[in-house]
Structure 1
Amino acid sequence: MGKTTIIAITGASASGKSLFASTVYQELVAELGGDGIAILAEDAYYRDQSHLTLEQRQLTNYDHPSAFEHELLVKHLEQLRNNQAVAMPQYDYKTHTRQPTSIQVNPGKVIMVEGILLLHDPKLRELFDISVFMDTPLDVCLLRRVVRDVEERGRTIQSVVEQYQETVRPAFFEFILPSKQFADLVVTRGGQNEIAIDLIKSKIRQLLAE
């Protein structure tokens, strides 16, 4: 199959990275078919907490690197690069733990992975050929997060704001923002930057054609 290129899409929570990655992925799959490109989400690699009560799970700092099983993500990316399929875990935001099922991700010439702490982890950084940082104002991220978490994840506005103040915003300045220096491309306007989307799509088309 030739060399596998791994592209990281990162940035603050609700910065538009998931929308950016999914837009690129879906448009290219519609155009070229899905055989050559695959996508993974860092959120799927939140550690399993099925051994904890729901109350205990709610106390976890989900914006700290320790919340993620990055060692498994590293292993899966290495397997995909070696032309091996992987079983990506599935995470339930309402129960704060992994689901019993997984999704098979097949290898391809281009692997996209999106998440908040991808560039913070040195072992992950070594695997990325291209890295993109979504540079979105924090007030925009907060508004998006409130809407998303209330509508999709069953949270209250108060719980979202408290979590944002206690862990999300501090983690951004401690872990996420410093990792911006490792990005190859910094994208403004969140996941709706059509110029940046077209640039990444063009690069992926080139990689798939090689």
Structure 2
Amino acid sequence: MKQKPIVIGVAGGSGSGKTSVARAIHDHFQGGSIMMIEQDYYYKNQSHLTFEERLKQNYDHPFAFDNDLLIEQMQELMNGRPVEKPVYDYVQHTRSNETVPLEPKDVIILEGILVLEDERLRDLMDIKLFVDTDADLRFIRRLTRDITERGRSLDSVVDQYTTIVRPMHNQFIEPTKRYADVIIPIGGENKVAIDIIIAKIQTILEQKDIL
């Protein structure tokens, strides 16, 4: 590690396409010194709660995330030291006993609904992106994902969206758009925006003599 890595924050509502944008950037530099860290892995450990209590938690609120651990591990990586990334168990709704070893890289993509909400995280970032997608499209994507990938029922997804996801998006996620350097409409389908971001990253890498 010659110098401080480039940190790219990718935020946006659930189902906005932020993961697709982050993966598109990551895949472009595949084989290079790049990694992607998902904020979802840093949900707080809830092993002290009963399963029923875990089900009632608000996972779209800033307090749901262990940002202290995320920031600590980001700083370790930025200082050239490896970390053990936590793993979140979506079935048990708490942190797993497993961890994933991460080695320092020259480019770190930090992706999640609220990565721009915490000023301490923003201060670590060189480029801040917000993926902006219409609410109806975000809901359809979330509905499809939660039913097919997470075994949720239609009623439970709709109920969670109307009572928690939508109000939390309006209160906490949408306002972080003002911190973004670039707002990307539509998400992963916006090839022009992604190409522009990739070109900017390429320029920074060349200036830092990383490539």
* TM-score normalized with structure 2 length: 0.94
Q: Say whether the 8 Å CA contact 2:131–2:184 is kept in structure 1.
A: yes
Which secondary structure does the structure 1 equivalent of 2:104 belong to? Answer: coil
- Residue in 1 aligned with 2:141? 144
Unaligned runs of 5+ in 1: none
Letter in 1 for 2:47: S
| Superimposed CA distance per residue, residues 87-131 of structure 1 (whole angstroms, 9 cap, x where no aligned partner) | 111112222112211112221121100001111111111111110
Indicate whether 1:2 and 2:3 are aligned: yes
Alignment of 1:157-196 (within 5 A): 157-196=154-193
Q: Say whether the 8 Å CA contact 1:25–1:39 is kept in structure 2.
A: yes
- Residue in 2 aligned with 1:67? 64
Deviates more, 1:178-187 or 1:87-96: 87-96
Q: Say whether the 8 Å CA contact 1:94–1:154 is kept in structure 2.
A: no
Letter in 2 for 1:185: V
Query: Partners in 1 of 2:103 and 2:196 — Cα distance?
Result: 24
Which secondary structure does the structure 2 equivalent of 1:192 belong to? Answer: coil
Letter in 2 for 1:24: I
- Residue in 2 aligned with 1:105? 102
Alpha-carbon distance, 1:202 to partner: 1.8
Taking only aligned residues, the RMSD between alpha carbons, in angstroms, comes to 1.2
Q: Say whether the 8 Å CA contact 2:4–2:79 is kept in structure 1.
A: no
- Residue in 2 aligned with 1:13? 14
| Superimposed CA distance per residue, residues 164-195 of structure 1 (whole angstroms, 9 cap, x where no aligned partner) | 11111111111111110000000011222111
Unaligned runs of 5+ in 2: none
Alpha-carbon distance, 1:27 to partner: 2.8
| Superimposed CA distance per residue, residues 115-157 of structure 1 (whole angstroms, 9 cap, x where no aligned partner) | 0111111111111111000000010000000000011111111
Q: Say whether the 8 Å CA contact 1:110–1:207 is kept in structure 2.
A: no
Q: Mark the CA change 1:74 to 1:109 in structure 2 (over 3 Å): closer, same or farther.
A: same
Query: Partners in 2 of 1:171 and 1:162 — Cα distance?
Result: 14
Query: Partners in 2 of 1:205 and 1:63 — Cα distance?
Result: 33
Identical-residue share of aligned pairs (%):
44
Query: Partners in 1 of 2:72 and 2:170 — Cα distance?
Result: 28
Aligned length: 206
Deviates more, 1:96-105 or 1:139-148: 96-105
Query: Partners in 1 of 2:19 and 2:69 — Cα distance?
Result: 20
Letter in 2 for 1:14: G
Q: Say whether the 8 Å CA contact 1:15–1:135 is kept in structure 2.
A: yes
- Residue in 2 aligned with 1:51? 48
Alpha-carbon distance, 1:205 to partner: 2.5
Query: Partners in 2 of 1:196 and 1:107 — Cα distance?
Result: 27
Indicate whether 1:23 and 2:24 are aligned: yes
Which secondary structure does the structure 2 equivalent of 1:190 belong to? Answer: coil
- Runs of 4+ in structure 1 off by over 3 angstroms are none
